[in-house]
Amino acid sequence: MRAQVNWTQTARLRRLDFVLRPWTDAGLDADRITAELHSWMLTFRPARPAEYIRAQLARQAADSHQSEQFEAAEGWDELEASGVFTASRPGLVTDVLQGLAQGLASYSARQAAQGFDDLSGAGTDAEADFAVFLASTDSTPAGAFR
């Protein structure tokens, strides 16, 4: 490993073995450790490579611990958060378009109150498209939007 990562060549083998112990204990082999060290893309050569590696690993461990603490403090549940995206909702597209139609109507009313061009005037394409789609969803076969 030391021969493959040029900036580690001045470090003593025993010291490298000691600072890389978290990775070797985690089951990483020499090729994977070499790839990890190369992924740091150093543009300089550390004066003490083993100490640099030790500091980087400590920083990564602290960052990981801190993010775990934040997630625990906020009560973040990945399964619960992604459940909305995995649930089967046949009316999801209809609900979204109805929300967009309401938003467009609200925006148009606000623009008209301020004296700007009104988007809900006769013949606007967006409003007509929303109305046609919403009217046609009643005849849509069940499961068309899964």
Whole-structure pTM value:
0.46
Q: What is the mean pLDDT of the chain?
A: 78
AA letter at 114:
Q
- Provide the 10 A C-beta neighbour count for residue 52: 19
Q: Tell me which residue has tokens 């909702």.
A: 89
* CA 94 – CA 136 distance, rounded (Å): 10
Mean pLDDT, residues 5-23 taken together? 91
Strand spans (E) along the chain: none
The per-residue pLDDT for range 81-99, each reduced to its tens digit, is 676 666 666 777 788 888 8
Q: Domain-by-domain residue ranges, the chain?
A: 6-74, 88-139
Q: Any idea which of 94-103, 110-119, 136-145 has the lowest mean pLDDT? A: 136-145
